[in-house]
Structure 1
């Protein structure tokens, strides 16, 4: 049965249990911080990152608040922010924020300044390109300025006009940044190479996930062969996935694919599936919590053309879900010793070949490798470590 493709944004994941963070002495500021997280869209991996940090920082005795866009997220964002409210001593301020540069940015910037003055914030932490602009250009004295890129402007292809423009902006904004908290070595290297400028205080703070997320999800009966979870947009490599699926089916493999998500290229991707003759082999479903979805597929495919350090890969790896993924961004950092099995992006043959190999190998081999990757991720990407590393970054800047 093919489900109807529904619009919408990813719903909030269930919030992990609050975790206390036992900070090393050099990471202690000596007093409770007043932290404002500034970002645009309360959706996706960036939002999850902020939600997790908020809970950890509040549990560590700090006062935390959020400033974000008022036009995105809909009811799901409202619900997630309401669930987070007990941990937000400095509350939530929502302002209209455009994705791309716009004259309205001036009004948003003044709104951030007003919020800083109202709360007496001592740390202004910008997330993503737009949040980073607001946090670092906010015309107010006092708070340190921390910045966590989440891919965004760093993912543009080097040499293009937009890449040069945004790297020039990042170079200028670096002068007002007290500490960079890069979520991957990949983005940190991109910044050094293309933004450059005087060395600034910087830390690599990998995204982390909760211990409960390492429970294997298993696979339901009558599962799809393949599953994709994420935005429906060409930058995620979905045309490559659809062409690989078409080629494999023409080779006599009657594979099925579950695609869960929404995005700006929904219609064009649906049309491409029809042109390739695979529309009936694909079930499209709207965004939903990831763990139940993982169990509905034998293999998860992440065909992205660019990434920073995607939560969806961390979550799937932790849950022992067999994975086929591309060798882009910070994904090799997640795979570590297993990165040799990653495939090049934009390569239909390579992606199709990797899918065929993992489906053909014995289940015990496939599951054993997934379990080994999960064990590796557990040692390197814990949520408590992420929280401690961020607070260490603040302490160093202070």
Structure 2
């Protein structure tokens, strides 16, 4: 069937770091392995040696290539140059799918895709917010302007793709009920990440892993750890792994509370290597969307405690005993004490492993995304007769 031909897919996003970059890499690798042609357009001014190494790994799988050009975080005159250069590069690649991730990536994909549509190319335009504009407050002038801009861009959008129901609900609350097709496609982790991690002999009781900034709750972790010791009635051990702007604040906090010897600190490392250094992973964020670190820890078979924020309850189930009240050290400590003292805690508190893998694997994510791409191309061809991108 003609509609089952290999697709030409280009992902546009700004910063090649963090969850968006991981999401795009996973999709690109999965779709390339399935025989599709994939390319990436992203910023050239962010990222470092680590991100360069990741690009080198994925580049052999990008048959449509990698285009890096300056894309500033703030809206400004430089956006016009980025759009023009991006348009010239993307036009020459003749894509079927333009998928924008994050606010700037979404603008690139939708504006450029719309110009291609005017020129009779059959290209579908998708946008995944990944938080992005949704972090702004509608009550501020900047937030109100950005929400209005997002609403305006819906007219250039064929589908909005959300990584969790929470993100979709936030979009509807802040921007308005979508006027275009929407889909909720969960993030997923790769098959090799479902291999259980075995704790090392010197593993600590509790691990915090993530950015060292208040949004992610390292201060709550330290407070809850001290409360857990009091609940259990003896000293425990913990480790904080990560880097960030408030690292010195947390170092000072644990020393002031007399926890310097019982809470170690280490720089950021690969998640699975970090998991092997603990028996229980604690993720005390004040805000999240659909965090990969939760998925990675559960896939690795780790006991995981998290806060009831963003899309996290969609992973565990809304009534899971593993979910603490956000910004509440006592709630977190009580769960930490229960998990530490009860060997069977994880069996009842954590998601069923089979259902978890069915919902949150790269295989599921990439298959659902590909089905959406194909359905949009059919709709686009029916609504706007146009020559295919591979003219």
Fold-level match, TM-score > 0.5? yes
- Partners of 1:243 and 1:101 lie apart in 2 by 39
1:226 to partner: Cα distance: 1.1
Does residue 122 in structure 1 map to residue 96 in structure 2? yes
State the Cα deviation string for residues 193-228 of structure 1 (Å, max 9, x = none).
Answer: 221155211111111122322221121112111112
Does residue 94 in structure 1 map to residue 68 in structure 2? yes
Structure 1 unaligned spans of 5+: 1-24
Is the CA contact 1:321–1:370 (under 8 Å) kept in the aligned structure 2?
no
State the partner residue of 1:10.
none
Q: Structure 2 residue aligned with 1:141, among 95, 103, 116? A: 116
SS in 1 for 2:42: strand
What pairs up with 1:309-348 in 2 under 5 angstroms? 309-336=290-317, 339-348=320-329
- Partners of 1:354 and 1:340 lie apart in 2 by 7
State the partner residue of 2:78.
104
State the partner residue of 1:113.
87
State the Cα deviation string for residues 113-154 of structure 1 (Å, max 9, x = none).
Answer: 122122122211111222222222337323321111222332
State the partner residue of 1:150.
130
Is the CA contact 2:304–2:322 (under 8 Å) kept in the aligned structure 1?
no
- Partners of 2:223 and 2:20 lie apart in 1 by 29
Q: Structure 1 residue aligned with 2:158, among 136, 161, 178? A: 178
State the partner residue of 2:38.
64
What pairs up with 1:1-398 in 2 under 5 angstroms? 29-138=3-112, 140-142=115-117, 143-156=123-136, 159=139, 163-197=143-177, 199-249=179-229, 252-336=233-317, 339-361=320-342, 363=343, 365-369=344-348, 373-398=352-377
Distance 1:370 1:214, change over 3 A: farther
Which shifted more, 277-286 or 126-135? 277-286
State the Cα deviation string for residues 282-335 of structure 1 (Å, max 9, x = none).
Answer: 322222221121121111011111111111111111111111100011111111
Report how many aligned residue pairs link the two structures.
370
SS in 1 for 2:75: coil
- Partners of 2:243 and 2:80 lie apart in 1 by 30
TM-score of the two chains, using structure 2 as the length reference: 0.87
Distance 1:249 1:104, change over 3 A: farther
Distance 1:184 1:35, change over 3 A: same
SS in 1 for 2:22: helix
SS in 2 for 1:140: helix
1:67 to partner: Cα distance: 1.2
State the partner residue of 2:120.
none
Distance 1:337 1:378, change over 3 A: farther
Which shifted more, 112-121 or 200-209? 112-121
- Partners of 1:395 and 1:44 lie apart in 2 by 28
Higher relative contact order (CA 8 A, sep 6+): 1
Which shifted more, 238-247 or 153-162? 153-162
Structure 2 unaligned spans of 5+: 118-122, 378-391
**Aligned-pair Cα RMSD in Å:** 2.4
- Partners of 1:97 and 1:270 lie apart in 2 by 35
SS in 2 for 1:231: coil
TM-score of the two chains, using structure 1 as the length reference: 0.85
1:376 to partner: Cα distance: 2.9
Which shifted more, 93-102 or 271-280? 271-280
Is the CA contact 2:338–2:345 (under 8 Å) kept in the aligned structure 1?
no
- Partners of 1:178 and 1:235 lie apart in 2 by 33
1:108 to partner: Cα distance: 2.3
Distance 1:337 1:253, change over 3 A: same
Is the CA contact 2:224–2:330 (under 8 Å) kept in the aligned structure 1?
yes
